Amino acid sequence: MTEREKMLAGECYDSRDPELIALYWRARQFMQEFQNAMAHPGRMEILRCVLGELGAEVWIEPPFVFEYGPHISIGARTYLNSGVFVQDCARVHIGQDGLIGPGVKFCTASHPLDSRDRIVTLPDGRTGYRTSALPIHVGDRCWIGADVTVLGGVTIGDDAVIGAGSLVTRDVPPGTLALGTPARVIRPVTTPG
């Protein structure tokens, strides 16, 4: 099993693996090209070459930062405001018709708390960090407010709303409003009619 396969399977992996480093640098090239094309109406096409899936009419404001790219899927008509960061060490799915506020972070990776478990000597003698990652799934029609952080292993259900500045550490049911640090479900989201 490759380090990338381990990473996507939620197992501990070596983040300094040559394949992952190559993906990292490839992502940086596409991000630079995207940021430099800020005023170009065709800039979204740049991201189609590096992201796993980019639905029709997706709009992403620069700067947009991601770890690797291929493990990200964004559904049709979703809007990502400026300064969104996606750490796609595990799969990150953002559904269609979503609104993602400025400064939102999707952080999939984690490390052991005990430094003796976190900092390890690798088989080739290098020092590394024990890292694992869990996927993030955001449903359709979600609104995630400014400066929210979503951690790995979280599912946000369809039609959910996450209040600005929240830290999402656990699943949020569909059609609910969650906010706070850590985020807690406050109430159902109601729609007129």
Catalytic residue among 40, 93, 111, 137: 111
Q: Which DSSP string do the residues of 72-117 spell out, in sequence order?
A: EEE-TT-EE-TTEEEETTS-EEE-TT-EE-TT-EEE-EE--SSHHH
Task: Find out whether 65 and 31 touch, Cβ atoms under 8 Å.
Answer: yes
Annotate 18-38 with b (16+ C-beta within 10 A) or e (fewer): eebeebeeebeebbeebeebe
71 is catalytic: no
Q: Nearest Cα to 88, choosing from 73, 103, 71, 65? A: 71
Q: Which residues are catalytic?
A: 111
